[in-house]
Amino acid sequence: MSRTAADGLVVVDKPAGFTSHDVVAVLRGIARTRRVGHAGTLDPMATGVLVVGIGRATRLLGHLALTEKEYEGTIRLGRTTVTDDAEGEITGGSGARDVPRTALDAEVARLTGDIMQVPAKVSAVKIDGKRSYHRVRAGEDVEIPARPVTVRSFTVRETRERHADDGTPVLDVDVTVVCSSGTYIRALARDLGAALGTGGHLTALRRTRVGPYELAVAHPLEELRETLTVLPLGEAAAAAFPRWDVDERQAALLGNGARITTPALPAGPVAVFGPEDRFIALIEAAGERSRSLAVFG
C-alpha cells in the first residue's frame, strides 16, 4: 500500500532493544502521521506482539490495552537484580541448587489466579505523579503498593540447570503466562524466586498475544518499512470486541453519540456496526441504555 496515513491497527513483532515509543516513532515515519500510539508497553528487553494504532484507531487503544495477554519467558532462579530482569545489576542470590520440582510447581500455583502483586520498582508505575523508575534512578528507595491482577495460567514448560558467569549454579525455568493487563512478568519471576528462597529474575520475555492478536499476524519492523500492513478499523474492532449490529436509524443516533436502548450485551466495550458493515461506535451498556466510549461512524 502507499505510505500515507491510514485508520487501523498494525500488529508489530517488536525487536529486542526497542522501547514501545521507539516502535511508535518508526511507524509515524512510515505512515506519515503523528497520530500513532500503542496498546500496552513492552520493556526494551522483551520482544513480540505490540499493537499499534494509526489515525482514528488510536481511540481503540485504551480499550485494547485492557485485554488479556500471553507471554513466554525464562526465569532464572538463584540471582536477583535491581530491575527484576537481566537488564539490571545483580543485587543478591546465592544460587539455586536442587530445587525440587514439587516445590517449584507449588509456588507457581500460589502465583496463579487472582493475586495481589507489587510491580517492579524500575517500572512506569507512577508514585505521587512521578514514574517509579525515575525515582529509583535518582537514588530513592520507593515503595509501590500491591494491586490486584489475574494470572489465568502460569505453566512451567522446561527447567535447565546452568551456571552464571561467575560459576554460581542457577536454574533456568521456561514458562508460559496468560494474564490480565497490568501484570508484571518480572514481578512473577521475583516473587517465585523469593518464595523458593533462591531469588529470581527474568532473563527473556516474548509476548505472544494481546487479546485476539497473535504472533502469527505480527510483522517485523523491517517488513513494515517495505510494506505497511494495516488492519482496517472495522476489522480491528470486530476482532477485538463483541459485536452489535444495528439498523440505519440506530446507527444514525449512535453516530451522533446518542444513548439508545440496548439488548442484553456483554460487559465491557461493544463494537457497533450499521448497514453495509459500517463501524459506527464503541459503546458499553449502562443499565438498559448505551453509553458511547468512542464514535467513528
Catalytic residues: 43
For the chain, give the longest Cα–Cα distance.
72
| DSSP three-state, residue 101 | helix
**Separation in Å, CA 35 to CA 23, 238, 257:** 13, 22, 23
End-to-end CA gap in the chain: 24
Q: Which three cell numbers stand for residue 30?
A: 512510515
Q: How many CA atoms lie within 13 A of 161 on its CB side?
A: 7
Closest Cα to residue 292, out of 270, 264, 265? 270
- Residue 14: phi, psi to the nearest 5? -65, 135
How would you label 129-139 residue by residue, b for 16+ Cβ within 10 Å and e otherwise? eeebbebbeee
Beta-carbon contacts of residue 112 (< 8 Å; ≥ 6 apart): 151, 152, 153, 154
User: Who's near 109: CB < 8 A, 6+ residues apart?
Assistant: 154
**Residue type at 239 in one-letter notation:** A
| Cα(13)–Cα(23) distance, integer angstroms | 10
